[in-house]
Every structure is written in structure tokens, then in C-alpha cells.
Amino acid sequence: MKNLIVNADDFGRHELINRAVERAFNTGCLRSATLMAGGIAFDEAIRLAKKIPKLGVGIHFTLANGNPVLPPDEIPSLVTAEGIFHADYVTFLKKYLSGKISLAEVRSELAAQLNKILRAGLTLTHFDSHQHLHHIPGIIEITLELAAAENISAMRVADTKIFDGELKNIGQFVGRLGLGSLAKFAAHKARKKNFSTPEHFTGIVAGESVSENFMLKLIENLREGTTEIMLHPGINNKTLQDFCRWDHDFEEELAAVTSPKVLSLLDEKNIAAINFSELRSKA
């Protein structure tokens, strides 16, 4: 059997992302999203998730490029002088590898993010992380422990393929190779603890958008089992690019997962669009 999980990252980061998630669920094949506890549109995302109970919602653990839940003075190694997380995963990793990130603070912050979502009344289907930082040794153990304590039993494994999307430079090649290696390590840890993970992962991790053609080709060549496709849909590129400081085509990804051609091909191929809560039952 072939199943597809289309997951929108950054749910709650901005109201225009929230609206895209709602549209992609109602008129497309999106059935899953991961929620940023520190996002400025968090409360709206919670209301939306409760309005669409069949949308599977996970937690998008965040340690870079976002806002913490705890007061900055409680997590000084994780934040800048402005009280926000470090700019991106590269900055975080440099500090982490040089011993300047406190794992005790990581645990406290991620626990606070999880508690904030649970207090809002959501039952979470899975977890992943912003810029894939949950795959890092030391952090994967913390996220698995926190998730298991709350009966969250599924996890993203971002075992990215090196040639998914355009390779613009050697840095992207090395980055994808490194992420794939870390993902395999994280998957081993997760499966030892009986977490469910999709068999396959795709989505373009270096910033390019998932297009209609990408989706059509993926569906035509979908492998047996469950494939997660990661994307970042949104409405109004200019606003979101300025807000996220990311030159990403949010609108193209929304168009891709609401495309009549894509939906028709899923029906033709008898491929089910599911969320993470259905992983075990579809196995």
C-alpha cells in the first residue's frame, strides 16, 4: 500500500501560513501540520486546529530562527542579546559543537514548548523540528524522552535525498549529506524506542519550493509504504519572505498541494493522503 503524508511546517508562525494550511486541507491533499509554540499566530493556529479535527497536528520543536517560550534569562545559551533564538541552524551548530549550548536549557525550553501546546488542548500526532535540529545527537534523546512521556509515538525522519531539487553549490551537497547521516542515526534511536516513522521522506530542504511538477513526478514514482513530503505553504510571498527573511515560494507550494492535477492523480493511483496518527493502522 502507498500512502502520502503532506506536512506543513511552521504552523502558527504567521497568520498567512495558518490560512494556507486551512486552504490546503479544505481544497487539497494536506492532512498534517507541525505547530511552532513560539509563533506569533499560535493562538489562531490552535483555534484553527480545533475547527479542523481531522488535521493531524504535531509539534515543531524550535531552537533556532524563532522565538523561545521561556524567558530569555532562563535559557541564556540559546538566545541572542535580543532574547530570540540564534539566526539559523548553522549558527546553532557552531555554538553546539563548541560546547556553548546547554542541554539542560534545551530540555527546559523544549519541554515548555510542548507543555504550551498541550495546555491549549491539542492531542499531538508526532514531532519534528525547525531546521531539523531534533536529529542532532544529544538533542534527539531529549525530544524522544519528552515525546514518549506525553504518548506522542511518531517522528519525522528527514532522510533527505541529495539530488531532491537543484544543487547550487558544494555547501548544499555537504548539508544534505550530513542531514541524511544524522537522520539515519535519529531513526535508529526512535525505532529502538518503538516510535513510528514514515518509510520515506522528501521535500526540498535547501529552500526551493515543491512545485506541481515535483508532486506529479513524486506520485507517479511513489514507493510502497508511507512517504512524508515536507513543505512550507503560505499566502502572499512578499509578506512572508520579508517576515521569515527567507526567499521561499510559499505560494507555489500551496498551489502544488491544491492542484487539480495532483488530486486527480492521487485518486487515479489509489494513494491515500493520511496524517501521522494513521501510521500504525496503515502499516
Average pLDDT in the 171-195 region?
A: 77
Instruction: Kindly state the cell numbers that stand for 80.
Output: 541572542
* pLDDT above 80 for 280: no
Number of domains in the chain: 1
Percent of the chain with pLDDT over 90: 87
What confidence score (pLDDT) does residue 209 get? 86
What confidence score (pLDDT) does residue 36 get? 98
CB 269 within 8 A of CB 4: no
**pTM for the whole structure:** 0.93
Lowest-confidence region among 93-97, 193-197, 206-210, 248-252: 206-210
Domain carrying residue 241: 2-282
Average pLDDT in the 53-81 region?
A: 98
pLDDT band at 161 (very low <50, low <70, confident <90, very high): low
Q: What is the pLDDT of residues 77-86, one digit of tens each?
A: 999 999 999 9
What confidence score (pLDDT) does residue 181 get? 83
pLDDT band at 180 (very low <50, low <70, confident <90, very high): confident
pLDDT band at 34 (very low <50, low <70, confident <90, very high): very high
What is the CATH number for 174? 3.20.20.370
Long-range contacts at 47-55 (CB < 8 A, ≥ 24 apart): 48/18, 48/21, 48/22, 49/11, 49/122, 50/121, 50/122, 52/22, 52/25, 52/26, 54/25, 54/275, 55/21, 55/25, 55/31, 55/275
